[in-house]
Amino acid sequence: MSVAPSSPGQRYDRMLLPELSVTLRLEQPLLPVMPRTPPRAPFCFSPSRLRFHRQHEFFEDGDIHRHMYLQEILTHVTEVTERPKVSEFCCHIVGCCQVFDTLDSYEHHYNTLHRNMCSFCKRSFPSGHLLDTHILEWHDSLFQIMAEKQNMYQCLVEGCAEKFKSSKDRKDHLVKVHLYPSDFRFDRPKKVKSSTKHRKLPPKLDVSVPMDVSVETCEQLQMDSMEVCSSESLESPTQPVSGPASSLQEKQLYKARIPSTICFGQGASRGFKSMKKKV
C-alpha cells in the first residue's frame, strides 16, 4: 500500500481529531503481528518501555525551559490595583461596625470574622473544622459527660485521628508530634470562670506577647478562648473611647472586672521595652 506523499502537517491540520477517529476505525485494519521471539545473538534489541529517573539529563532541557519561565513570570494577584470601589457600606452582622469600600475587603472580613462564628458564644474561628471542634467541646453537655469516660478531645490537625482525655493532653500531642507552637492561638483551653483569671495578664505588655492590642485585651477578658476575637469596634478611630462599651456588654458577662492596667481604643500605646538584636 503506497501513500501519496504529502506533508503530514498539511494533512493533519485540516483534519479534526474526532473525524479522524471515524476514519481510523473504518479504514485501517491492524497489520498482522508475529509472536514475539527473543533476540538472536549478537543482536540484543527487545522492545521495552523506557523510564528515566527524575534527575536524568533526558529531562534537562524541559526542566530548564520551565524554570526560565518560572523566573520570569510576575504575579497572579487578582486585580488588586483595580478593585472596583463602591460607596461605603457597613457589615451587616449585628454588633460589627466595620466599614468597607470594596467588595473584596468586605468578603475577606466576613470570611475571617463571621463565617465560622459560633452561634452560642459569638466567637469566630478561621475554619469550619475549628468551629466544629469548639462547639463540641464548649457547648455540648453530652461531650463533658462522655469525656469523663473516654478520650474525646480530638487532635486539631486534619488527618490525625488521635483523641485525648483532656485539652492539655491534646496540646502536648500537638506540640510533641505535630511540632505546633506551644502558644498556638487556636488551642486555648476552656477555663472555669473565676475571678483569678485577670492574673493571666502579664505584668507589662512586651514583645513576648503576640501582638494585636485590642484583641489581646479582649481575649484576656474572655479567658483564653480558642478563637479569633471580634473586637473590631475597638479599633475604629472614629469612635470615642467610651463608645465600645455597648459592644462589650456581652463580653462583660464573661469576666469579673476589667483590670486597671487595660485601656481601650485609640491612644493605647504598647511599645517595646527593648528590642534586642538576635545574635
* CA–CA distance, 258 with 242 (Å, rounded to integer): 14
Q: Select the residue interacting with another protein from 26, 38, 62, 242 (CB under 8 A).
A: 62
Give the DSSP H/E element, type plus range, for residue 154.
strand 153-154
147 or 171, CB closer to another protein?
A: 171
Residues 206-225 that bind another protein (CB under 8 A): 207-215
Tell me 213's DSSP state. Answer: H
Which among 28-36, 137-145, 193-201, 250-258 is the span making contact with another protein, rule CB under 8 A? 28-36
Provide the minimum distance between the beta carbon of 10 and another protein in the complex, in angstroms, as a whole number: 10
How far apart, in Å, are the Cα atoms of 139 and each of 118, 132, 142, 221, 254?
Answer: 10, 10, 9, 19, 15
Provide the minimum distance between the beta carbon of 217 and another protein in the complex, in angstroms, as a whole number: 10
Partner residues linked to 163 by β-bridges: 154
Residues 152-191 that bind another protein (CB under 8 A): 157-160, 177-181, 184-186
Residues 257-276 that bind another protein (CB under 8 A): 265-266, 268-272, 275-276
* CA–CA distance, 210 with 226 (Å, rounded to integer): 14
Which positions from 93 to 132 touch another protein by CB under 8 A, shown as an x/- string? -----------xx-xxx-xxx-xx-------x-xxxxx--
Partner residues linked to 117 by β-bridges: 124
Which among 165-173, 193-201, 234-242, 249-257 is the span making contact with another protein, rule CB under 8 A? 234-242
Whether the CB-CB separation of 82 and 75 falls below 8 Å is answered with no
* CA–CA distance, 217 with 11 (Å, rounded to integer): 74
